[in-house]
Amino acid sequence: MKSKDKLYIISGICIVIALCFTAFFIYPTLSDVIRSSHKVLADKAQNILMQKELAELKAFKDNESQYTADVKRAGNLFVDAQNPVDFVEFIESIANQSNVSSDISLAPSPQGGPINFVIETKGSFTATANFSRRMETGSYLITVKKISMDKPEFSKDDPNYVPGQIRSSFAIEVVPKP
Task: Please indicate, yes or no, whether residues 93 and 168 belong to a single structural domain of this protein.
Answer: yes
Task: Please indicate, yes or no, whether residues 97 and 162 belong to a single structural domain of this protein.
Answer: yes
- Longest CA span, the chain: 136
Domain count, the chain: 2
The answer as to whether 30 is a domain residue is yes
Task: Please indicate, yes or no, whether residues 45 and 94 belong to a single structural domain of this protein.
Answer: no
Task: Please indicate, yes or no, whether residues 135 and 58 belong to a single structural domain of this protein.
Answer: no
Which of 13-22, 112-121, 146-155 has the largest mean confidence?
Answer: 112-121
Task: Please indicate, yes or no, whether residues 95 and 160 belong to a single structural domain of this protein.
Answer: yes
The answer as to whether 79 is a domain residue is no
Task: Please indicate, yes or no, whether residues 54 and 89 belong to a single structural domain of this protein.
Answer: no
2 pLDDT band, cuts 50/70/90, is: confident
What is the CATH classification number for the domain harbouring 154?
Answer: 3.30.70.60
Per residue in 46-90, pLDDT tens? 999 999 999 999 988 888 888 787 777 777 778 877 888 888 999
The answer as to whether 128 is a domain residue is yes
The answer as to whether 68 is a domain residue is no
Task: Please indicate, yes or no, whether residues 128 and 57 belong to a single structural domain of this protein.
Answer: no
- Taking the model in full, what pTM does it have? 0.58
The answer as to whether 42 is a domain residue is yes
**Residues with Cβ within 8 Å of residue 165, at least 6 apart in sequence:** 122, 123, 124, 151, 152
Residue 26 belongs to domain spanning: 3-62
The pLDDT value recorded for residue 155 is 61
Task: Please indicate, yes or no, whether residues 90 and 166 belong to a single structural domain of this protein.
Answer: yes
Q: Give DSSP secondary structure letters for 34-58.
A: HHHHHHHHHHHHHHHHHHHHHHHHH
